[in-house]
Structure 1
Amino acid sequence: MEPEIGEALGASYRFVDRIGSGAAGEVWRVRDVRDETLRAAKVLRREHAQDADLVERFIRERTVLTRLRDPHVVAVRDLVVEGERLAIVMDLVEGGSLRQALDERGTLPPAEAVALTAAVLDALAAAHAVGTVHRDIKPDNVLLDRDAREGDDPGAAVRVVDFGIARVLDERRRSTTAVIGTPEYMSPELVTLGEAGPPSDVYATGILLYELLSGRTPFAGPGTDFTVAYRHVSAEVPRLDVPDDLWRVLARLLAKAPAERPSATEAAASLRRLRASIAELAALTPAAAPEGFVEAERPATVLRGVAPTAPEPVAVSSDEPAPELGAATQATVLRPMPRREAPRPVEAEPEAKTSLWTRMPRGRALWIAGAAVVAVAAVAAFFVFRPPAGESAPAAAGPVVTSSQQDRALPTGLSVSRSVSYDPEKKLATVTIEYGAQNAPLGGPFLEVLPGAAESDACPAVTWADATVDRNQASVTGISVPCGWSVDGLTVPTQDSVTVTAQVSIALNGQEAVDAWLKAAAAATTKAISDSEVSGAAYPVQRLRSVQVTTPSRTVGGTALPVTLLPVWPSGPDPVNPLFTSPSVGEPSAMLDAVAGGTSGVRFSDGCAGALTVSSDGLVVTALSVAPDCTVRARVGNFTDLVSPPFGITTR
């Protein structure tokens, strides 16, 4: 069922009206009932809730954006997980998008286009600094805040959104078999290799600037999505009637080779230097589609054996018909990339009575002769400079490898995400653990397991920061798990998150090993906190599964009703260590502080049609009139709609 106007979104928001939609979700204006503030909520369509990839990208949008703090990036305020409904609550940006501005105006004056583009690059520079690539920059994903426009700088209004399909840099440094992006804005390396880094964002921003100046993207035209996308690889960018200085900067942004493009920071600075010289230029007349595209110069010969920095692109013959994938659009697409097998060369049968040299043109013969000399020299160098027998050449340190993982939210409202950045040269893994809370503040201690590289390995040395951390003591907690740590001294505010960092000395070999180690750490932690053989109140935020409301089976009218809140662990209810008793005496328990922020997170309510009354602080229930079948309702932190078993109210 799609959201309806006035319907609740979690406990804090109400849907107001729909303001946009896309392939995976809808954007709604919502009202925060706590302070009546209007926000924007991006809601994943229910039919996609079982799609693991879409859910991962959707949740990642919140995770990524909470790490970004830049005036030109839309700020994320909340993540709502409610049954099969997932929603990211963001600041509401009123003023429309760059797409709407283009639709209304056709083209923008160069000075304005340059200012807006520089602000987009500022947002990307902030994202790149924390290891994030947007992957889908286009006018639709650039909003204009009408309340933030300042003087003669239109760039002050820019707010970049939709990092939902962003790929964290180095998360998986390998080719993908899928293309994520919009065909008219895809970089050449994304089209041919399925790989995107910061240069891809810079390229897409160059396409955006071209469109702001001319009213069209450079490679739009007839053909399928594949045809449009492949023009980024095969065609030259049609020249615009703009000053040479501006064209040179734009051409650098749109360079075919990623290494030839400037960084986002450098590009923003270059554009701002141009503003004074183009301040008086009028907007261009919207450009018509060119009659054809000029083929870009690309190397025809590849010298194999030279270690490439990226997988070699497979050439596609221009004579082959493009596969029919549908009409070209500006919609973001996720489409499998075909794996192409390079055809094996067919060996020609030698002709009798004529030698290869007599049939070969003189220039080619000389070229092959030179190549043969180089090959002989290379072989000789191998034998001269190779290490002595029994020794191996020192291996070059590989690049930093990263990985990330997120647990399913626990009943207490705790969400845990983990990311690791592994330096193979130092054999050091830097682990960042983010704890998030939903409807109540949460506190430690939290259990974290950081195992060795293999199951049989000893526990690695770990240095912690941002928290008070000790080794888990099985004699105290009742949880016997190797390599366990007790992370304390943290309070996670409601609807917010905190992080803690650990540096682990460990030897891991490549991306798969890093992925497997982080997965093993998360799995070991989950197994330990879910052990049904463990009793006791250790690590309550992670181990609490429910809360049981208990009362006497009968009480007397006119007296306070004794109510006890029992924690339910994986091993079952725990009557020995109650969370709370009402009427209460003394300070709240450490467990209640951890899972609900103390008594402020506890509220009782009448479940007996007026036969009960509750004190103003919601903590004391009094029986009023005779009733044979009553219940009391309770809320404890993230646990809502708790109900006691039926009880009776009698006279004395």
Structure 2
Amino acid sequence: MPFDFSHVFSGHHNNHDDGPHSAHKKKEYTFDHDVIGQGGYSQVMRAHWKARDGMVVAMKVVRKEAVKDREGYLKLIGCGFSRINTHPNICAGLDWFESTHKFYIAFPLLTGGELLERLNKRGRFTEDAVRNVMRVMLNTLSFIHSHGIIHRDVKPDNFLYRTPESEVDDIVLIDFGISKVLDTESEDDPRDQFEVGGTPGYAAPEVFCGIGYGKNSDLFGAGVIGYNLLSSWSPWESRDTVALIQETSRTTVNFPPGPFEGVSEQAKSFIRHLMQPPSRRPSAKKALQHVWLAEPVKPVEQDHKLGSHEIEQTGIQPLVPHPTIKPEHPIARQLTAQPAELKL
């Protein structure tokens, strides 16, 4: 069931004690005290939707003070989600409402954990498993791009599994919190966005250097994820945020022989393909035509090369989540005022 968006565009908002007129919808839910996700200005908790026979949902509660671009946010949860809520690999909103101080967005409850968690727990994926995951990922990105949305935070933390028993490629894209909703839905990609935002190490270099970026900036993050899955490693050595931003500007991606033992040259070529400079980086639609993805889809019996006990013996360190830099972050403001000098 799609959102009811009428209250987004009605212009009916007030600051009285009873709050915006959609606030009455909160009574349609019973909230658990079980917080299943936490951010700087938001929480995700379980809730029961009375109008749907007590259906359990993941309710994201966002403090309005954290939403600097109120118009853009309403555009996202209104127009944006309505464009993409039919795709099976997108966690689209089921319902939303607001109170005086908070936004509430109900999402399907996904219980399988993050792609990043599965990778750190079970070890690097087989090449066939990575191929299947990347097909789903690129199809999902191609879909949102064709509907005029740039995700802007493509990373393994933002892909969830539906259940703990989900197949390796049963991933769902989440967290459109800093996504950009373009005015038109088309295949064009003019690379005319300048607002800084994303996760260092996954955000494309051009996002931080003031030259303008577009939909194919999401492909850089997909390439880094592919690198992670094939090796359990990060392509970057830096941990400091500013140093990491500088390091991602490298045009050469290295594949150390240990972590990439047995990985085909075609797979490495695919990763390089996604992590090219923006002028040569493909769209998601074109990336799906890469020769490495051309092999027929086949079931994956063993989706991991190393178990957790074997990971400990190799000395491979778990991949560490990096926080998202939102446009209002001090580093984002600094880079907006003085774009990083990156060679692209």
TM-score by length of structure 1 reads: 0.40
Summarize deviations over 1:267-312 as a string: whole Å, max 9, x none. 23535324679968962667858xxxxxxxxxxxxxxxxxxxxxxx
Per the alignment, residue 228 of structure 1 pairs with: 244
The residue number in structure 2 matching 1:267 is: 287
CA contact (8 A) 1:97 1:144 kept: yes
What are the superposed Cα offsets for residues 243-290 of structure 1, whole Å, 9 maximum, x if unpaired?
01111111101112x23222212323535324679968962667858x
Give 1:148 deviation, angstroms. Answer: 8.7
Secondary structure class of the residue paired with 1:41: strand
**Residue 117 of structure 1: CA displacement?**
2.1
Partner secondary structure for residue 79 of structure 1: strand
Q: In percent, how many aligned pairs have the same letter?
A: 26
Contact 1:206/1:250 (<8 A) preserved: yes
Q: Matches of residues 271-420 of structure 1 in structure 2 within 5 Å?
A: 271-274=292-295, 283=305, 330-334=322-326, 335-336=332-333, 337=335, 339-340=337-338
Aligned partners of 1:74, 1:281: CA distance in 2, in Å? Answer: 24
User: CA distance change for structure 1 residues 54 and 123 in 2, over 3 Å: closer, same or farther?
Assistant: same
- Secondary structure at the aligned position of 2:125 is classed as coil
Q: When you count strand as a share of all residues, which structure comes out higher?
A: 1
Gaps of 5+ in 2: 1-23, 185-189, 327-331
Task: Write the deviation string for residues 566-624 of structure 1: whole angstroms up to 9, x where unpaired.
Answer: xxxxxxxxxxxxxxxxxxxxxxxxxxxxxxxxxxxxxxxxxxxxxxxxxxxxxxxxxxx
- Which residue is 1:251 aligned to? 272
Letter of the 2:168 counterpart? P
Larger Rg: 1
- Structure 1 residues 77 and 267, CA, compared in 2 at 3 Å: closer, same or farther? same
Structure 2 SS opposite 1:76: coil
Alignment pair present for 1:113 and 2:130: yes
- Mapped partners of 1:203, 1:14: distance in 2: 40
Q: Given residue 57 of structure 2, which amino acid in structure 1 is its aligned partner?
A: R
Cα distance change of structure 1 residues 33 and 272 upon mapping to structure 2, 3 Å threshold: same
* 1:137, distance to aligned residue in structure 2 (A): 0.5
- Supply the distance in 2 between the matched residues of 1:341 and 1:204 (Cα, whole angstroms): 20
* Contact 2:76–2:181 (CA under 8 A) maintained in structure 1: no
Structure 1 residues 213 and 275, CA gap change in structure 2 (3 angstroms): farther
Counterpart of 1:160 (choices 164, 170, 173) is: 173
Distance 1:281 1:94 in 2: 19
> 8 Å contact 1:115–1:275 — kept in the other structure?
no
Q: Which residue of 1 aligns with 2:232?
A: 215
The CA deviation at 1:106 is 2.9
Query: Could you say if the C-alpha distance between residues 95 and 147 of structure 1 is closer, same or farther in structure 2, counting changes exceeding 3 Å?
Result: closer
Q: 2:62 aligns with which of 44, 47, 50?
A: 44
The offset of 1:29, in angstroms, is: 1.2
Contact 1:135 1:196 in 2 (8 A): no
Name the SS for the 1:260 alignment partner. Answer: coil
Change in 2 beyond 3 A, CA 1:57/1:341: closer
Matched, 1:93 2:110: yes
Q: Number of residues paired by the alignment?
A: 287
- Distance (whole Å) between structure 2 residues aligned to residue 109 and residue 56 of structure 1: 44
Q: Residue 123 of structure 1: SS of its match in structure 2?
A: helix
- In 2, are the aligned partners of 1:179 and 1:194 still within 8 Å (CA)? no
Alpha-carbon separation, structure 1, partners of 2:104 and 2:70: 11
Q: What residue is the counterpart of 1:195 in the other structure? A: 212
Instruction: Name which structure has the greater RCO, CA cutoff 8 Å, separation 6+.
Output: 2
CA 1:277–1:70 in 2, change beyond 3 Å: closer, same or farther? closer
Per the normalisation by structure 2, the TM-score is 0.74
Residue 638 of structure 1 corresponds to: none
Match of 1:183 among 174, 195, 200: 200
Q: Cα RMSD over matched residues?
A: 3.1
Paired AA for residue 293 in structure 2: R
Q: What is the alpha-carbon distance in structure 1 between the residues aligned to residue 303 and residue 143 of structure 2?
A: 30
Contact 2:29-2:47 at 8 Å conserved across structures = yes
Q: Which has the higher helix share?
A: 2
Q: 1:25 to 1:9 in 2, by over 3 A?
A: farther
In 1: Cα distance, 2:46 partner to 2:285 partner: 33
Could you say if the C-alpha distance between residues 188 and 9 of structure 1 is closer, same or farther in structure 2, counting changes exceeding 3 Å?
A: same
C-alpha displacement of 1:56: 4.5
| Helix, strand or coil at the partner of 1:259 | coil
Say which of 74, 80, 90 aligns to 1:59. 74
Contact kept, 8 Å, 2:123 with 2:304, in 1: the verdict is no
Indicate the SS of the match to 1:90. strand
Instruction: Give the CA deviation at 1:199.
Output: 1.1
Q: Counterparts of 2:123 and 2:88 in 1: how far apart (Å)?
A: 27
Matches within 5 A, 1:576-591: none
